[in-house]
Amino acid sequence: MIDVIHDHAFHLYNQKISYLCSLLPNGQLGHLYFGPRLSLTNTDLDYLSQGSSPYAWMANFSSDQPFALGDAQQEYPVYGTGDFRQGSLSVTQDDAPVYPNFVFKDYHISHTKMRDLHHPTSFGNPALTDVLTIHLEDETAQLLLTLQYTIFSDSATVVRAATLTNQGSEPVMIQRMLSGVLNLPQGRFDVVHLSGNWAKERHIQTQPLTQGTFSVESLRGASSHEQNPFVALHAVNRSFTSGDTYGANLIYSSNFLDSIEVNEWDQTRLLIGIHPASFSWRLDPKTSFTTPEAVFSFSSGGLAGLAQVNQRFVARHIIDPQWRQKTRPVVLNSWEATYFDLNEQKLLRLAKLGRQVGVDCFVLDDGWFGTRDNDLSSLGDWFTNKHKFPDGLGHFAQEIHDLGLQFGLWFEPEMVSPRSQFFQKHPNWVVRPKRGRFSITRNQYVLDFSNPAVVNNIFDQMQKVITETHLDYVKWDLNRSITEAYSPYLAKIGHPQGEFFHRYVQGVYTLYQKLLTAFPQLLIEGCAGGGGRFDLGILFYSPQIWTSDDSDAIERLAIQSGTALAYPLSCMSNHVTAVPNEQVGRTTPLATRFRVAAFGILGYELDLTKLSPKELAIIKDQISYYHDLQPLVLNGDFSLLLPRQSNGQNQVAWLLSDHARKRLVLGFFRVLADADSRTVQYMKIPLAQPNRRYWVNGHTGPISGDVLQRVGVRLPIQFNGANREQAQLIGDYQSALLTFDGVTDIKAINRRREEEGKEKVGHV
């Protein structure tokens, strides 16, 4: 809902949150409040709008307006205007800075936000969606600023974007244009960010904020393995499940900046958007530039509460709705099974075994195209390797389909190998500086996706293969960062190179748009050497992303805990792989590998021909269990009961539930065995409903939700040196899956107890 009060204040709210802004004395738009829902009266508004007292060294807005921006909460601050904090916007004209004074002009409210494949944005149906558009203008600079705010009735989030329009007759240069600002004038916060590296992405890292600026960012041309656009501000000295907590994320896949500044008066300002260090944009007369959307979320339930807000928002307002209903295939991926050493016979043997254990889709990873037998060649040549598939890929795909499996293929559309037909033909279609050397990673160059001809060429090649193979699934990989950024194409058409990174990612989105328009049912899994581009821009197109190249179950406890702070389980692609693990060399039990991977979209990526009949039978049971579990993964609620954070907790617990709390699944993991551990340990199940009883595997009789909530479920007994007979968990890398089946029907409970020859239970 949006209330407009006296045409100068705007209150966006739903059942959970309020966001309030109003005009400052100089006509600019100021910020008043973001947090739990407020019931406002007019006098409250006056009360909240009280101006500040003067401070020493404060710059007044102008000689006739003794009002100061120095400590004002602004909705879109411009640096250098008496507010010395970092700003959202910097503009120059003829190399001179412009300091626009954006004064309120008008507003309108709408209720439609359709999903449009041309640009990744949030979307929602009219019953849930309110969009406030505010125009602010600087008549002297002839610039129009449009601020857009979206609130969905089912989400504790506010989504923001900004558009700048040049109404003059001369171009202006945008040097910096961020998506949104979060103003927190009160309170002290810890910043929580998801940082790491290849094979250890998105670890939960926390540090206190003090006066100064802290930032997370990427300048790699993708959102990166190292830092993620998501950050949270968590009230200091509160537990994981308590305290006011604010989140910020960006619907974008390229260079980003999240900067959090605490000033001399302990006011916190968070800015998020395209990284200004690698960006500038020439705004020609009568043209506009729109930023990607920023998502601000809130929970008073700490990081655990914020995670749920974020997960629901992404599942409902970012991911393609068709993938909420449809089941996702359990894949068997060929990469760690065969690497480049593949041929049709070998793959068919694998696929047949996959079929026997119950997988739904066979994915042929790298190595099927051009003359690719290693990573030295062929990216860009997206046609069948005739040596490996003498009858063509269409024929092989048919064999896979005949087994009753879906078929998937790996592509790395944005890359080219110097040893390829493509590069020989189009050496100028590569990102490379005008002169001199340029870097190479994994023997490959980056294609200039700011050039539409390049995107069209790659689309045509992919379209041919997808049509020939009746492809069900694509794994879209990206295995290097962008260096020496320079586009020969932009130079040719006379655009500034500062536009390159943004135009590049627009090219990536265009390829997605073309593929999904031509093949709307195609499931495209995102990947960037694992989780190097795990962001809301990619999730708008790809409902799932390969979470990390590291599939070690213990490392995944940290990666998946961190990822779940910002993203739903339904977008984490997790594979069970062989041991010792290829990335860290650790040997974990098959059960633990499965139980970790089951909290997401399950797949297998190992040579099944090397497994014993017993192991194959176990995998068959796992897949059958998972098929039953997947609806909860796609549409349920997920709680990080005990996340694995950067200080490496030994015990991790994750809880999944359907909305009605009828069925709950607890994943419990203990990394290292405890010596002389206690034998009775309870874990509270906050989502259990007090008015239900739950059958829990491993326990007799239904247990009331009340007891599960307040006392907890008894965890499997750990080996302590003396209890070998009773011990259920022994050694390192322990895991258990406990399933809670809720019933309110006392007769059904007693029928089952009777069948088991047990005494009836009393009323629930």
Which positions make up the binding site? Answer: 198, 365-366, 442, 475-479, 527, 549
Region of 453-461, 526-534, 535-543, 711-719 interacting with ligand DGJ (CB under 6 A): 526-534
Check residue 150 for interaction with ligand DGJ (CB under 6 A). no
Place of tokens 């830092």: 227
The least CB distance from residue 180 to ligand DGJ, in Å, is: 32
Which residue of 71, 130, 477, 525 would you call a contact of ligand DGJ, by CB under 6 A?
A: 477
**Of residues 190, 472, 477, 535, which has the active-site annotation?**
477
Residue 399 CB contacts under 8 Å (≥ 6 apart), including other chains: 344, 348, 351
68 vs 545, which CB is nearer to ligand DGJ?
A: 545
Residue type, 425: K
Phi/psi for 710 (5° steps) reads -90, -35
Known binding-site residues for substrate equal 198, 365-366, 442, 475-479, 527, 549
- For residues 357, 361, 366, 369, the Cα torsion angle rounded to the nearest 10 degrees is 120
Which residue of 527, 539, 597, 642 would you call a contact of ligand DGJ, by CB under 6 A?
A: 527
Place of tokens 């696929």: 351
145 vs 342, which CB is nearer to ligand DGJ?
A: 342
Task: Count interface residues toward ligand DGJ (CB under 6 A).
Answer: 11
Q: How far apart are CA 36 and CA 156, in angstroms?
A: 9
14 vs 479, which CB is nearer to ligand DGJ?
A: 479
Q: Give the residue at shortest CB distance from ligand DGJ.
A: 366
**Of residues 549, 550, 552, 637, which has the active-site annotation?**
549
Check residue 365 for interaction with ligand DGJ (CB under 6 A). yes
3-state secondary structure of 448: coil
549 is a catalytic site residue? yes
**How do beta strands 288-290 and 189-197 pair?**
unpaired
The least CB distance from residue 659 to ligand DGJ, in Å, is: 33
526 vs 636, which CB is nearer to ligand DGJ?
A: 526
530 vs 702, which CB is nearer to ligand DGJ?
A: 530
* Residues 538-577 contacting ligand DGJ, CB under 6 A: 546, 549
Which residue of 83, 366, 552, 637 would you call a contact of ligand DGJ, by CB under 6 A?
A: 366
Check residue 335 for interaction with ligand DGJ (CB under 6 A). yes
Check residue 410 for interaction with ligand DGJ (CB under 6 A). yes
Q: How far apart are CA 540 and CA 562, in angstroms?
A: 20
Chain-centroid distance of CA 648 in Å reads 22
Residue 82 CB contacts under 8 Å (≥ 6 apart), including other chains: 58, 59, 60, 61, 68, 69, 70
Check residue 474 for interaction with ligand DGJ (CB under 6 A). no
225 vs 503, which CB is nearer to ligand DGJ?
A: 225
- CA torsion sign for 680, 686, 692, 697 is negative
Helix pair angle (393-402, 452-469), 10° resolution:
50
69 vs 465, which CB is nearer to ligand DGJ?
A: 465
Q: How far apart are CA 663 and CA 640, in angstroms?
A: 17
Which residue of 479, 563, 570, 592 would you call a contact of ligand DGJ, by CB under 6 A?
A: 479
Helices (H), 205-329: 302-317, 322-325
Return the H-helix or E-strand segment holding 17. strand 17-23
- Nearest in space to 669 (alpha carbons), one of 739, 588, 734, 595: 734
Check residue 525 for interaction with ligand DGJ (CB under 6 A). no
The least CB distance from residue 300 to ligand DGJ, in Å, is: 38
**Residues recorded for the chain:** 764
Contact 378, 423 (CB under 8 A): no
Chain residues in the site for ligand DGJ (CB under 6 A): 335, 365-366, 410, 477, 479, 527, 529-530, 546, 549
What amino acid positions are annotated as catalytic residues? 477, 549
